[in-house]
């Protein structure tokens, strides 16, 4: 994972808003208010995102998208990519694979909408993902070799073919937690 200290602190600040038993429901509602909007239209989200932004403005939108998605589903599972989180949904409906493929093929300008729908499905099915990894992946979405999309595809299809048992997933979760602290 290639997140720098500022980026890790950003995700940590989101976690602080959703701390079990002490969650800040108002702040999470503020974050959710940004769903489906462009960063310039997310006035209630600025105070949670702007302190983490750098002077370079090329990737600001990914912070806003992650913050608003987190507000919608503030559950975390260390080491679980969006592809792995989406994999258990595949047998539930014939359209799940098509939705996932559309997500993989999404142009960066359309990715926010695809992610909003994907996270909504994850929430409805209690399938958390790793928010550190999601931010890292979005920051690399435009890589010419599409390595994020390839990794998500591997995680999605491998998970459904018995590539990782429940026990292995728990071990991954425990080991990954140390990486994020």
Q: What is the pLDDT of residue 162?
A: 42
Rounded CA separation 97/89 (Å): 8
Average confidence (pLDDT) over 128-146: 96
Q: What is the pLDDT of residue 159?
A: 65
pLDDT over 70 percentage in the chain = 87
Q: Which is more confident, 40 or 151?
A: 151
pLDDT single digits (tens) 159-178: 655 444 333 333 233 233 33
62 closest CA partner among 163, 134, 120: 134
Q: Is residue 181 part of a domain?
A: no
pLDDT single digits (tens) 12-59: 999 999 998 789 999 999 999 999 999 989 999 999 999 999 887 778
| Residue 42: other Cβ atoms inside 10 A | 22
Q: Most distant CA pair in the chain: distance in Å?
A: 44
Instruction: Name the 3-class secondary structure at 68.
Output: helix
Q: Is residue 172 part of a domain?
A: yes
How many domains in the chain? 1
> In CATH, what number is assigned to the domain containing residue 66?
1.10.520.40
118 closest CA partner among 141, 139, 95, 136: 95
Residues spanned by the domain of 132: 5-176
Average confidence (pLDDT) over 75-94: 95
What tokens appear for 46 in the block?
A: 């600025």
pLDDT single digits (tens) 98-126: 999 999 999 999 999 999 999 999 999 99
What tokens appear for 3 in the block?
A: 């997140």
Residues 79, 133: contact at Cβ < 8 Å?
Answer: yes
Q: Is residue 30 part of a domain?
A: yes
- Bridge partners of 62? none
């Amino acid at each position: 994972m290639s997140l720098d200290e500022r980026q890790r602190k950003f995700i940590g600040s989101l976690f602080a808003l959703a701390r079990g038993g002490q969650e800040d429901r108002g702040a999470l509602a503020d974050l959710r208010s940004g769903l489906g909007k462009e960063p310039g239209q997310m006035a209630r989200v600025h105070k949670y995102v702007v302190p983490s932004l750098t002077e370079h403005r090329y990737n600001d939108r990914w912070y806003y998208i992650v913050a608003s998605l987190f507000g919608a589903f503030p559950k975390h599972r260390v080491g679980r990519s969006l592809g792995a989180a989406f994999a258990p949904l595949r047998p539930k409906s014939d359209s799940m694979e098509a939705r996932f493929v559309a997500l993989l093929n999404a142009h960066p300008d359309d990715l926010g909408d695809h992610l909003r729908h994907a996270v909504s499905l994850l929430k409805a099915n209690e399938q958390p993902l790793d928010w550190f990894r999601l931010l890292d992946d979005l920051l690399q979405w435009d890589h010419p070799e599409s390595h994020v999309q390839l990794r998500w595809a591997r995680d999605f299809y491998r998970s459904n073919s018995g590539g990782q048992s429940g026990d292995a997933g728990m071990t991954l979760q425990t080991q990954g937690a140390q990486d994020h602290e």
